[in-house]
Amino acid sequence: MQPTLQFADYIVFGLYFLIVSGYGIWIYTKKKAASASSKDYFLAEGTLTWWAIGASLIASNISAEQMIGMSGSGFKMGLAIATYEWLAAATLLIVAVFFMPVYLTNKIYTMPQFLRERYNGTVAMIMAVFWLLLYVVVNLTSILYLGALAINAISGLDLNVCMIGLALFALVITLGGMKVIGYTDVIQVFFLVLGGLVTTYLALGLVSEKFATTGVINGFNLTMTHASDHFHMILNRDNPNYLDLPGLTVVIGGMWIGHLNYWGCNQYITQRALGASLPTARNGLLFASFLKLLMPVIVVLPGIAAYVLYQQGSFHNEMLMGGKINPDKAYPVLLNLLPTGMKGLAFAALTAAVVASLAGKANSISTIFTLDIYKRYLHPEVDEKQVVWIGKCVIVVAMAIAILIAPHLGIDKEGGFQFIQKYTGFVSPGIFAMFIMGFFWKRTTSNAALFATLGGFAGSCLLEFLPRWMDLSWLAAFGFTKLNEAGVYEIPFLDRMEIVFLFCVVGMILISLMGQRPAAPGGHNSAGTALLVDTSLFKTTNGFLVGALIVYGVLVALYIVFW
């Protein structure tokens, strides 16, 4: 099968490009007078509506690692991978109720700023540098490279050309600031959802045709029948994918740590809501939560449909890479089966997902470097106009670095989605422990935070490499290890995150109790400063409560049906 786009596909894609770019330019021109303010440029302070916040959260989150990587995981392990999407819907509501009031009450605009004001400058600087490295080396490069691989598989364009094209498109949006990103993300989400639903509809239609029937409902039923093992949310220990999704851990253990860290302690995500009022931020997160419920239909179901088609003899050669099946090729191969025009729409949806995430990630990189490193330590007297200019330069440099190093990281060797989850999992437990203890226990000290930062990473590394140094087969009887493909008894990385998190929390409590008590809100000492936490702000409106109950009700029903 030769990957190509027809003239009609380019017309559809061209319309998408013109709409997004034109709207972005219009927003930038309309708001240009305000863009001299650094807070307006980086946070779009007070100007994003709830629907823009919610759409921007989803557009920035859903990218190549979901469209390609999660569809690939759907091909490989089935609906269980949807737990990353569905539990995210629940997590967003927790962040809206408990995290947002703390951030907004204390006027927190960046995550390093929170660490500096709650603990001290040392903790903030260490984490600012770390976040920059993580965002550029792991996240930005993964998004760019996986997106380019997918576009290369669909269009046949050179891989480097695809990477450069995606980077340039993202720059058009990113250089306009968070306001342009936020409002263009609304259009990006429209194309992402529309194109994604069309792809799912046609994929299920192809399954129907394979069995000489018609209709998307028949296609779904046939998919469930012929891939019944792919429709379980909780995997048993004998499942070959158990190390990726270790049973009940996904609903009561390490998955929550990763989610709460990602959605509540991550500059890349929280930045969309930090410039808004509390009601607007909460409604935006609620809207994003509803959109999250829909995402597995777009990013997981096509992968399962591709698995059924593969089982029935379709595209066996196209799924191979280096003589082995590469699940990440499922979505691009599926798109190549779409009719002309529809393929262009699916191509636009994929591009929208990649470009929106690139733009959001690049803006966060720029925000952290410019506000928390350059302005704070290198040039404190810099004016607002210069801050914005430096921020734009950082965006260009970050994109250039990502283009240069992305092909050399082996991102396509492990499965794109799992690559990102695994390597962010090295630091998520320590970061989340540092944030959650800093939020809700005033006794937490800066030394305890430093322990979580460094000790959490060291603990993750120890548990990752421990199976290579000693035999852990005896722990298998207790459910802590499982034999991997290399014949080594390994600790599932989600369980590892849970263990390291508990280790960090216990260590932080002991260190805090032995040290000086932090100053009360408004003061400061070497142990840090306790945050102002107004528990009355945890109360929500009746409308938000009804929406949250609907989301949780749907989640309970989904887990009951697909347990």
- 251 with 339, same domain? yes
Residue 554 lies in a domain: no
More confident residue, 316 or 208: 208
Q: What is the average per-residue pLDDT within 300-321? A: 84
Please say if the pLDDT value at position 298 is more than 50.
yes
What six digits make up the tokens of 402?
A: 């990502």
DSSP notation for 438-490:
HHH-TT--HHHHHHHHHHHHHHHHHHHHHHHHS--GGGGGGTS-EE-TTS-EE
> Inter-axis angle of helices 178-210 and 159-174, to 10 degrees?
140
Please say if the pLDDT value at position 29 is more than 80.
no
Please say if the pLDDT value at position 547 is more than 90.
yes
Residue 382 lies in a domain: yes
| Mean pLDDT estimate for the chain | 82
More confident residue, 357 or 494: 494
Cα 378 to Cα 117, 385, 387, 409, 445, distances in angstroms: 19, 16, 12, 31, 27
Cα 368 to Cα 74, 126, 133, 433, distances in angstroms: 34, 12, 11, 21
Q: Rounded distance, CA 496 to CA 275, Å?
A: 35
Residue 544 lies in a domain: no
More confident residue, 464 or 38: 464
What six digits make up the tokens of 261?
A: 């860290």
What six digits make up the tokens of 426?
A: 């090295």
- 205 with 325, same domain? yes
How confident is the model over 407-453, as pLDDT tens digits?
776 665 555 566 667 677 788 899 999 999 998 899 999 999 999 98
Domain boundary among 387, 412, 437: 412
Residue 540 lies in a domain: no
**DSSP conformational letter for 321:** E
More confident residue, 308 or 106: 308
- 456 with 408, same domain? no
Backbone angle region of 341, left / alpha / beta, with phi > 0 → left and psi within -120 to 50 → alpha: left
Residues pairing with 324 in the sheet: 321
- 119 with 205, same domain? yes
Residues pairing with 525 in the sheet: 528
Which range among 159-163, 191-195, 527-531 shows the weakest confidence by mean pLDDT?
191-195
Please say if the pLDDT value at position 496 is more than 60.
yes
Domain boundary among 412, 441, 473: 412
- 345 with 367, same domain? yes
Residues pairing with 320 in the sheet: 325
**Percent of the chain clearing pLDDT 70 (strictly above):** 89
Q: Rounded distance, CA 515 to CA 495, Å?
A: 30
Long-range contacts of 13-20 (CB under 8 A, 24+ apart): 13/344, 13/347, 13/348, 13/351, 16/191, 16/348, 16/351, 16/352, 17/169, 17/348, 19/187, 20/173, 20/184, 20/187, 20/188, 20/191, 20/352, 20/355
268: containing domain? 7-19+50-412
How confident is the model over 336-356, as pLDDT tens digits?
777 787 778 777 777 777 877
- Contact predicate 218/226, CB 8 Å: no
More confident residue, 356 or 296: 296
DSSP notation for 403-432:
HHHGGGS-HHHH-HHHHHHHHHTTTHHHHH
Please say if the pLDDT value at position 34 is more than 50.
no
Residue 259 lies in a domain: yes
The torsion defined by the Cα of 151, 15, 395 and 364, in degrees rounded to 10, comes to -90
Q: What is the average per-residue pLDDT within 248-263? A: 87
Q: What is the average per-residue pLDDT within 48-56? A: 81
Q: Rounded distance, CA 124 to CA 431, Å?
A: 11
Q: 92-117 burial by CB neighbour count: b if 16+ within 10 A, else e?
A: bbbbbbbbbbbbbebebbbbbbbbbb
Residue 557 lies in a domain: no
Which range among 157-166, 349-358, 369-378, 538-547 shows the weakest confidence by mean pLDDT?
349-358
Cα 244 to Cα 229, 294, 415, 419, distances in angstroms: 16, 23, 11, 11
Residue 229 lies in a domain: yes
- 408 with 431, same domain? no
Q: Rounded distance, CA 340 to CA 325, Å?
A: 27
- 371 with 447, same domain? no
- Contact predicate 364/268, CB 8 Å: yes
pLDDT of residue 494: 86
pLDDT of residue 511: 95
Q: What is the average per-residue pLDDT within 268-279? A: 77
No. of H helices and E strands in the chain?
27, 4
Q: Rounded distance, CA 119 to CA 354, Å?
A: 35
**DSSP conformational letter for 276:** S
Q: What is the average per-residue pLDDT within 151-157? A: 77
Residues pairing with 528 in the sheet: 525
pLDDT of residue 176: 66
- 388 with 495, same domain? no
Please say if the pLDDT value at position 37 is more than 70.
no
pLDDT of residue 321: 65
The bridge status of strand 489-490 relative to strand 482-483 is antiparallel
Residue 549 lies in a domain: no
Query: What is the tally of structural domains in the chain?
Result: 2
What is the CATH classification number for the domain harbouring 368?
Answer: 1.20.1730.10
More confident residue, 253 or 552: 552
pLDDT of residue 148: 85
- 140 with 271, same domain? yes
Q: Kindly indicate the confidence band of residue 44, based on its pLDDT and cuts at 50, 70 and 90.
A: low
Q: What is the average per-residue pLDDT within 449-468? A: 88
Q: What is the average per-residue pLDDT within 174-186? A: 67
Q: What is the average per-residue pLDDT within 457-476? A: 83
Q: Rounded distance, CA 157 to CA 159, Å?
A: 6
- 262 with 206, same domain? yes
- 212 with 310, same domain? yes
Q: Rounded distance, CA 13 to CA 195, Å?
A: 11
- 408 with 433, same domain? no
Q: Nearest-CA neighbor of 452 among 106, 127, 135?
A: 127
What six digits make up the tokens of 344?
A: 């262009």
How confident is the model over 114-140, as pLDDT tens digits?
888 889 888 888 888 888 888 888 778
Q: What is the average per-residue pLDDT within 146-152? A: 79
Domain boundary among 359, 378, 412: 412
180: burial class by Cβ within 10 Å (0-12, 13-18, 19+)? buried
